[in-house]
Amino acid sequence: MFRRMSAFWDLAYLTGSTPWDSDEPSKELVELIESGVIKPCRALDIGCGTGSNVIFLATKGFEAHGLDISKVALLKAMRRAEARGAKCYFHNLDFRDVKKVSRLGIFDLAIDVGCYHSLPHGGDRISYLDSLNEVLRRGGDYLIWCFVRGAGFSWGPPGVEEYEVERNFGSRYALIEKRKIRTPFRDLLFYHMQRVG
């Protein structure tokens, strides 16, 4: 399971078929940190790719951890972090592997730009949630960005239904903010949630 999914992502990073890889931290994350809403803490970027957000967090004083299933992405992330003098901790893991993920310890902040929405619907997303519940402390912040499913495009990640995140995370996560961002590709949903249960 790990090997097939990691090979898919490794190939994307090796061939440069990575249109999401902007080398810029996410605007909403920058806003929340620069306004002081989220303060330096122990943070995990789930599906960190080549590390734009982890590196940003490290430069802002966070204990910044990036996790990704792709070794190729992580090698690029490590090189970038080193070149910028950012102290980051990288982990080559499948976030669906609850047992291994739980060894990372507890985080105060978890972010996900495009990992959850790329998983197939069903058991993979349930395992993802189990892992998140293992590592995010109660009261911790969770930020997630997902493309809305379909919306005129038949290719790209499976995405999420308009209210899927509320439905799947709802009982244990309180919604602080939801934004719908128009992009030339599909609509992007951004959620800021806090773990309550």
Ligand X SMILES: C[S@@+](CC[C@H](N)C(=O)[O-])C[C@H]1O[C@@H](n2cnc3c(N)ncnc32)[C@H](O)[C@@H]1O
Binding site for ligand X (CB under 6 A): 5, 9, 20-21, 47-49, 52, 67-70, 73, 94-96, 113-115, 118
Q: Give the residue with the Cβ less far from ligand X, 65 or 96.
A: 96
Q: Give the residue with the Cβ less far from ligand X, 28 or 94.
A: 94
C-alpha to C-alpha distance for 154 and 35, rounded to whole angstroms: 37
Amino acid type, 177: E
- How many CA within 13 A on the CB side of residue 98? 12
Q: How far is the CB of 44 from ligand X (least distance, A)?
A: 11
Among 163, 173, 194, which Cα is nearest to 32's? Answer: 194
Token pair, residue 103, equals 């060894």
Q: How far is the CB of 103 from ligand X (least distance, A)?
A: 15
Q: How far is the CB of 70 from ligand X (least distance, A)?
A: 4
Q: Give the residue with the Cβ less far from ligand X, 42 or 96.
A: 96
**What sign has the CA pseudo-torsion 146, 153, 94, 128?**
positive
Measured CA distances, 189 to 3, 67, 92, 180 (Å): 29, 22, 27, 5
Q: Give the residue with the Cβ less far from ligand X, 47 or 159.
A: 47
Q: How far is the CB of 19 from ligand X (least distance, A)?
A: 9
